[in-house]
Structure 1
Amino acid sequence: MQTAAAVADFRTYPKICDIADVRVLEDQILVQWVDGRVSPFHHLWLRDNCPCTECVYSVTREQVLEIVDVDANLSAASACIDQGNLSLEWSGGHRSQYDPGWLRAHAYDDESRAERRAAKPHSQLWDSRFQLPAFEYKAVMEDPNALLQWLLALRDSGLTQIRGVPTEPGSLALIAKRISFIRESNFGVLFNVQSKADADSNAYTAFNLPLHTDLPTRELQPGLQFLHCLVNDASGGESIFVDGFAIAHALRTEDPEAFRALCEIPVEFRNKDRHSDYRRLAPIIALDALGEVAEIRMANFLRGPFEASVEQMPLLYRAYRRFIAMTREDRFRLVKRLNPGELWCFDNRRTLHARNAFDPSSGARHFQGCYIDRDELLSRILVLQR
């Protein structure tokens, strides 16, 4: 079992390969693994990641060493394999020891980096044929493994359903807190989705809501959205979902110019009522550091006038129209009615949702909703997987 002194982390790193040999070069240590892989580690990188108690506080497992305090011309006086670990003595006398499981997991040779990238979770794109992942409330509330399976499905597909949820107002908070704390907004901690005369959002009316993400007017859109059905006796009001990542992927393939425009030309979204005024200028499609689609920001009913250059304006309109037209294509749309005791939980920065119009005179309709940030989902998964 690895200890805090061996690994500056709360996770463990199984040893998948032994160290066969080590060589000291001018500015790096060359580690030869038993399976033939060779991993170079620069001196400064190794010294920066020394896990000893002088460099890492064992209680928090956080670094106290700052690499600027280490000699820039640092060299290794000696290197050897000590009981399977890489053991180093540095110029100046400091000693470091590295667990082989940790070292292999963080090696940055091309093969190791490619291996880690391939092992990272990838979004599972879906369309109208999507088999909705559904989970039971009791299991998710009581069984950590059932909770983990739900969260993995939510992370990878961006849309899940929970069934058997109590229909008392406020019940939603109990299951949301199985992930983490709830993110409060100007609509409250839990918000009631009902038709009302003094609505401060189109969501609180009875007419059709087009496909959108919630709160695109914020610097950080909420990561997860919950919608819990307490009563649904009204005719109409079916939920509609599309995978925004799947649409972005299709657009990237079918119309690369339009895709680039939505990644590069910012659009302002505005959420204004009698007591608040939120505005955010950002592209509709955001890419991560590796160039993969990471976020969709869209709500036509919250969009301000475009402010692109004269040269870009026609392209922006063409790309914007194309994106919305694709969300209306049957190949992408999943249409479901939510029944009492069921809830949707979806990735609000990926999955666009909509609602058909409903007739409030035909019966009561009461949903409750809340938000949790995507970071909390990813953190909870990692803790459950330890």
Structure 2
Amino acid sequence: MNTAAAFADFRRYPLIFALTAARPLADRVQVTWADGRTSPFHHQWLRDNCPCPQCVYSVTREQVLEIIDVPEDLAPAATRLDDEGCLCVDWQDGHQSRFDPGWLRAHAYDDQSRAERLVNKPKSQLWRRDLQLPVFDYRTLMDDADALLQWLLAVRDIGLTQVRGVPTEPGSLKLIAQRISFIRESNFGVLFNVQSKADADSNAYTAFNLPLHSDLPTRELQPGLQFLHCLVNDAEGGESIFVDGFAIAEALRQEDPEAFAALCEIPVEFRNKDRHSDYRCLAPIIALDALGQVAEIRMANFLRGPFDTSVEQMPRLYRAYRRFIALTREAQFRLVQRLEPGQLWCFDNRRTLHARNAFDPATGARHFQGCYVDRDELLSRILVLQR
């Protein structure tokens, strides 16, 4: 069995192990699988997840039922396995639910099943200067869905990729970014031009060296993916520098747990101001997810406001902040590479910190174009391609 249509989902759930028994208990149904595992399902959980057309709208596959609309003490009148191996529940109020075993196993919440899902959850692959940079071909990515998926998985898991063979006409970047999803516009535009100019509204638009940073840490939600596409690069200098911010954070966690905790706990304000806008965001430099794993780095020293924390916390914050930056300057973490015309970087802006060496505009032209796509769009595109 490998069904999807009866459930509020567009994915399919292969049958890994068949159901062999269903045993009613006081507040739950306990099922046994062919591999010997037992999984309890509380009555409210089963009723809440009924996939029938009365509870789920078949067009959108979104839930119609709200659990508050059934009695809290609702219990089955009968439970059984049907001829197709599905769990069937006849409720006391006359409602009937039928659960596919593939779907049920995929959502079982016994300790063993939850641990299994956690192990299989995608994990970040931390890297240092010796990273074997994932490189992809532009034309292949534009034409081949399988290659596109491999690229996006590399962006998700490694956080830094390069694409080669990209046309060098201005605006070409938009086509490959839209292979993922729509582009996120900012006050710098849909596509922004990275060039030295006299009336710069960002240090990025100068010939200065740029220290390692994430873009737009001044926003409540930093852009997820950043693209930098090289159109012309005749100037001396200007090499790109990258570090894995997650690797830096984990190194700090191992070396100095107290400093790591300080950067997770004490918020810092980042500011981005010009003649027409003024963006500010107060947030910690390191953000953790619900499982305690590093999920985001927010860092741009040139966009940072004065630290504002208690007298007692100020020395703690400075010590942690200095150590974090010191780690990013260690050669073991830094990947340095010059980007040539027709090449682009695509990286996770909320993970991979990027920098640029100073360049000399008197020695030649240098023109990059960039854009942003949110991380949610990357993850959604991966799931759709994996169907």
Give the structure 2 partner of residue 38 of structure 1. 38
Please give the residue correspondences for 1:241-256 in structure 2 after superposition, counting only pairs within 5 Å.
241-256=242-257
> Contact (CA 8 Å) 2:20, 2:32: kept in 1 or not?
yes
Give the structure 2 partner of residue 270 of structure 1. 271
74-83 vs 182-191, which deviates more? Answer: 74-83
CA shift, 1:4, in A, is 2.0
* Other structure's SS at 2:249 match: helix
| AA aligned opposite 1:51 | P
Give the structure 1 partner of residue 210 of structure 2. 209
> Contact (CA 8 Å) 2:4, 2:13: kept in 1 or not?
no
| AA aligned opposite 2:89 | L
- Give the Cα separation in 2 of the matches to 1:208 and 1:30: 62
Please give the residue correspondences for 1:47-196 in structure 2 after superposition, counting only pairs within 5 Å.
47-82=47-82, 83-196=84-197
| AA aligned opposite 1:121 | P
Deviations 1:115-140 (A, max 9, x none): 00000100000001001000000000
CA shift, 1:241, in A, is 0.1
- Give the Cα separation in 2 of the matches to 1:113 and 1:265: 32
Deviations 1:60-95 (A, max 9, x none): 000000000010001111000002000010111100
* Other structure's SS at 1:384 match: helix
Give the structure 1 partner of residue 345 of structure 2. 344
| AA aligned opposite 1:147 | L
Deviations 1:334-361 (A, max 9, x none): 0000000000000000000000000000
Deviations 1:96-115 (A, max 9, x none): 00000000000000000000
- Give the Cα separation in 2 of the matches to 1:272 and 1:158: 28
- Give the Cα separation in 2 of the matches to 1:17 and 1:337: 51
Give the structure 2 partner of residue 17 of structure 1. 17
Provide the identity percentage.
78
- Give the Cα separation in 2 of the matches to 1:286 and 1:352: 15
- Give the Cα separation in 1 of the matches to 2:309 and 2:285: 13
- Give the Cα separation in 2 of the matches to 1:207 and 1:69: 62
* Other structure's SS at 1:210 match: strand
- Give the Cα separation in 2 of the matches to 1:9 and 1:331: 44
CA shift, 1:168, in A, is 0.1
Structure 1 vs Structure 2 CA RMSD: 0.5
| AA aligned opposite 1:215 | L
Give the structure 2 partner of residue 282 of structure 1. 283
> Contact (CA 8 Å) 2:159, 2:352: kept in 1 or not?
yes
- Give the Cα separation in 2 of the matches to 1:276 and 1:131: 40
| AA aligned opposite 1:109 | D
- Give the Cα separation in 2 of the matches to 1:224 and 1:233: 26
CA shift, 1:2, in A, is 1.6
| AA aligned opposite 1:115 | E
- Give the Cα separation in 2 of the matches to 1:53 and 1:10: 15
Give the structure 1 partner of residue 304 of structure 2. 303
Indicate whether 1:293 and 2:294 are aligned. yes
Deviations 1:235-294 (A, max 9, x none): 000000000000000000000000000000000000000000000000000000000000
> Contact (CA 8 Å) 2:170, 2:231: kept in 1 or not?
yes
Give the structure 1 partner of residue 321 of structure 2. 320
| AA aligned opposite 2:365 | A
**Count of residue pairs brought into register by the alignment:** 385
> Contact (CA 8 Å) 2:244, 2:352: kept in 1 or not?
yes
* Other structure's SS at 2:291 match: coil
| AA aligned opposite 1:53 | P
* Other structure's SS at 1:141 match: helix
| AA aligned opposite 1:274 | R
| AA aligned opposite 1:295 | E
| AA aligned opposite 1:305 | P
| AA aligned opposite 1:383 | V
> Contact (CA 8 Å) 2:4, 2:11: kept in 1 or not?
no
| AA aligned opposite 1:69 | D
> Contact (CA 8 Å) 2:286, 2:294: kept in 1 or not?
yes
| AA aligned opposite 2:322 | R
Deviations 1:166-200 (A, max 9, x none): 00000000000000000000000000000000000
Deviations 1:346-382 (A, max 9, x none): 0000000000000000000000000000000000000
Q: Which runs of 4+ in 1 moved over 6 A?
A: none
Q: Which runs of 5+ in 2 are unaligned?
A: none
| Residues 1:311 and 1:143: Cα distance change in structure 2 (over 3 Å) | same
- Give the Cα separation in 1 of the matches to 2:70 and 2:213: 51
TM-score by length of 2: 0.99
* Other structure's SS at 1:77 match: strand
| AA aligned opposite 2:298 | R
* Other structure's SS at 2:355 match: strand
* Other structure's SS at 1:331 match: helix
